[in-house]
A and B are shown apart, each in its own frame.
Chain A
Amino acid sequence: MSQRFKGKRPNQISNASPGLSGLDLATAPAKVREQLAGGKSNAALTLAKDLFKAQPSPENEALLIEAYVARVEALLQQGLVIEAKSLTELVRQRHPAAGSALDSLGLIALARGGSIDELLRPLNTPDISPERRAAIEAVIQQHIYDPALIAKSTALPPDHPLRAGAQAIKDAFGAVTRGKVEDDRLALSEISRRSALAPWKLLVRAIAAFYRNDDAVCRQSLEGIRPETAAARLVPAIRALLGDKPEPSLTPAGSHLVSSVTGQSTTIAALLERLDRAFAEDDEDDTLEAVKKAIAEVRRALPDRLEEFKQRVVVRCMMDGFEPREVSPLLGGPVHPGPELQRLLATGMEMVGHPASTAVACASWHDFRLSAVEEGWFKNDGQEVAAIYLHIAELLVKLEPEQLRELQRKGTGEEDEYFLRPEKLFQRACLLDPHTEAFSKWLNWASGRPRALAVEAAEAWNKLLPDNIEPVLFLMDDLAKRDKYPSALKYLAQAERIDAVNPRVRKARLRLTTGNAIRLIQQKNYRKTREAIDEIAALPQTQQGDRPIFIEALRYMAETASGHQEEASRHEVEVARMLGAGFAAGLLIDMLGTVCKRVLPRPLLKPDKIPAPQRGQLPKLVARVMALMADMETKAELSRQWVAATSRQFAKAAATLEIGELKVLGETALSANNFEFAYNISTVGLWRPGAEAAFLLLRARSIPGIQVRRHLACAAAAAQMARQQRNMEIVDQAVTMLQHTGTRDDLSLNSFQAAEVVAKEKSEKKFPKPNERGPNYDSLIPDWGLCQCPACRGARGEGFGVFEDKDDWDDGDDDDFDDEEILDEFPPVPPGMPPAIAKMLFTEILEALESGESQESFLDRMGLLPGPKKGKGKRK
């Protein structure tokens, strides 16, 4: 403890020392700390001195030293280095205990005071302690604001790593601020990551990256600079140059740097930010005011970008629904209606997303094309124009069909409004730049439209890209559907040349040749029929399974058609031999006769004519015949009589039937609306391992409509089980079924629930009686999955609440519309109009009301709008 004031009693106040007047020794230490925490180093030091004078204890000396240290720091921060150094020496003399605390301050004072040599000299001594070295390097990193000072310091030899590194930094810094420098020239390998100069290395790299427009690398380098280092002082300015909001705000030197590098004042940045805020806040007056100020400043500070700025303002204002008359006066002159504006406008209108703005977007893309071609951006027959046409088409196809029709009807006033017609746009795009993707989009769109549009797309595709198989298959299928087999077969031949192993192509050969043969039978072209059947028989795939039986049946039909009954009988016998039963042959031939539209020389076979011993074979043989017809893609339905007869034999034969046969019989039963038979089939099928999904689906389709929850449970369980088995065909069917019953998309069951459904359904072996509720699935199928109107609830046997009145339920029925309302909304039916026409008109009125169509639109559509037709004006 230093020798200070002695002999005084503690807590006594000396009148000789004015600073001590009013000093409370008990609370003074706390006050000192409070002032230090508040940054009031001068006041804290004064109080601490008084305290120590009054009570020179070790604690108070320590507090005094703390206050001195704070004061020295404050002086250094103010740049009063000499004062700081003097005070440091004074404290060191008076209070030796303060030595270590003042050491780092002393180093800082050296750095700030420019005594670089004195600061660095200890680094050249070999016995410097690691702590001292670290303290000096920390000061170098944080308080030396120019590496050049280190580079020229004679306290270190020129080859000292720190001095050499500082020189390298100086050179690199100069280079990157004068011109572009590639990264490989900035290796600065002499500076390690742990060096005191490491932050400078990152800074140099950041600046180099900035000037290379490599903003990502620039930001990455800035991230690595620690905030307490001297180099970090440039980080806010660089961030501002990158377009980020600088934190903290820029110093005057920083603002000057930014405006010098960019040639732009910070005023304009503030005005532009204000403009952005105004648009974001949707305040009309504020926006217009901000536009006015921003344009004035851009005109002054960025005259070469004024036109671009005005264009963007115009488009933003249009997007936000401003009237042109509000914005035009602020622009100070017209905006050049060139391709830049048109493109911005088109994109902006797309972003608005309303059908009306889509029409403007389409027209704007048209204008863009014209002005871009005129200004030489690209040629009118190039890929760019094709891309524009395709882009406009894609905009239009996103609209609902009714919205598109409305747009086309209203028009835009242009003479040629091809840009509102997807078919014209696709055609133009594909002709200019024929490629698979464009054609595919065209055909995809056209496939949901009238046939002629799709055929046109496919034919154009095929003509321009004859090696693409998709249009060939489309045209082939289209012709086959219309029974134009010779032409379809020509396309098939083309498809086979392109890709003979394509599965669709391989299947098509059998299908089309069979269809062709049937068509020839219908036309009674005997010679060609025989040739066609011979062609089918020669196909390798015709030898598989039961297909040869079908060929024999076809031959029977051909011979019968040409009157060669003896030959025909021979083929019939062969069919019976191959099927193993005469009645099966008769059934097959009868069904084929229906398909071929031939009247057979004998009456149709009836199931009651089947010999009794053979009746047990009915289910198996019927399944076989139906499977064969399906395999040959020949659609035919089994009569209800046959289905009923099969059903009667089913129970005995069930155990012998394969899963595939059960499935075929199930479809056959459903086609004949024999739901009980279908149900019974599902009962058998559910017990076949691995086939639960398929037969749950059959169960769902066969149960009565009243059992809605059960139907949904079976369909949902079928979907779940099919997913587990990766049987996407059944998944699709089940999901479609659920969608058609109007359930929510998220109705699904987990595997445990699905297993529960299977177990319950297995136990329900008998077809439900009328009004029977069936198994309880309330816990699996919640109420939200079902329509809750009283009628549906009543149909489900659930009834409705005491206070509910069925008649109060709004089911959206047309009957809700009041006749008086209708007559008020629309003009009365013209007198003398025939009742049938009046009824049709009334129906149109109801539909118009439902769809929200305006009166004017309706009358225009009906041709009832009074007055002359409006002429087309210019698009606004």
Chain B
Amino acid sequence: MKNMPKPYDLIIIGGGPAGAAAGVYAARKRLNTLLITDGFGGASVASAKIENWIGTKEISGAELAIALEEHLRAQTGLVIREPEKAVAVKKTAGGFIVETDKKKSYESLAVLVAAGGRHRRLNVPGGEEFDGRGVAYCSTCDAPIFRGKKVAVVGSGNAGLEAALDLSHYASALYLIDIVDKPTGDKQTAEKVMGLPGFSFLSRVGITAITGDNWVKGLKFKDLNTGEVKELAVEGVFVAIGSVPNSEMVRGLCELNARGEIVVSRPSYATTEPGIFAAGDVTDEPFRQNNIAAGDAIKAVLSACVYINQINK
């Protein structure tokens, strides 16, 4: 009979701050660990300047991604599969199997899901059709392409406000659109944006469609006060309306809340499925911060350690 490979003690899914913290701690605890990720850095990669990563006055998204990757690759015994994406986690008699987009399967006693989130898409007619053809999600990447054009930013949280600031160097006119009365992001940033020349804040407005032919030519919106539907001529729409947790791989296995976030217990960061732990933006943690994600992932790994040691007794 062919020898089956021994299962890993722990599989970590994700390479952002949560996944990286988990990987470093798991390796240092000498857990036989596999880390699977489609990339390093997490959601903050897109940021040109991060000023609140503790211990670092200022770091760019790319620098953070590289630092996290290098810290992980320096760990003895940590196996990394990248770029590879976990698509399903299944329960077995001995633990779990994690299946990936490369049609591979890996077995483990425990799993730590640190898969983060992805941009919430603009779910209106034209939102997907014009993705990449006027609809964009990364202002640090793409703002210069909209030089001299009229651009709308949908969402007035911190991501939307920062996108507006990025675009203000290039756009001929800038609109910030949200369903709320006032920007929901940091007051300091909101004040900077509201003071920009050529800027308009369309509040209490809901986007109903993106229009155009080969490229975005405009958008339709509903005035939530009057019910009136109006049109705005723009050639760019930057979307910053939050994120969706990458929790599909454990749907049906772990409890998810109404937003699709993995429900975790504190302080263990255990999910409702024994042996599965989770941390970071994929969970029901209300504060989406890199430092919090890293700290929570460490607690999750230490809890996973206790779980694994009990199995291995």
Q: Do A and B come from one complex?
A: no
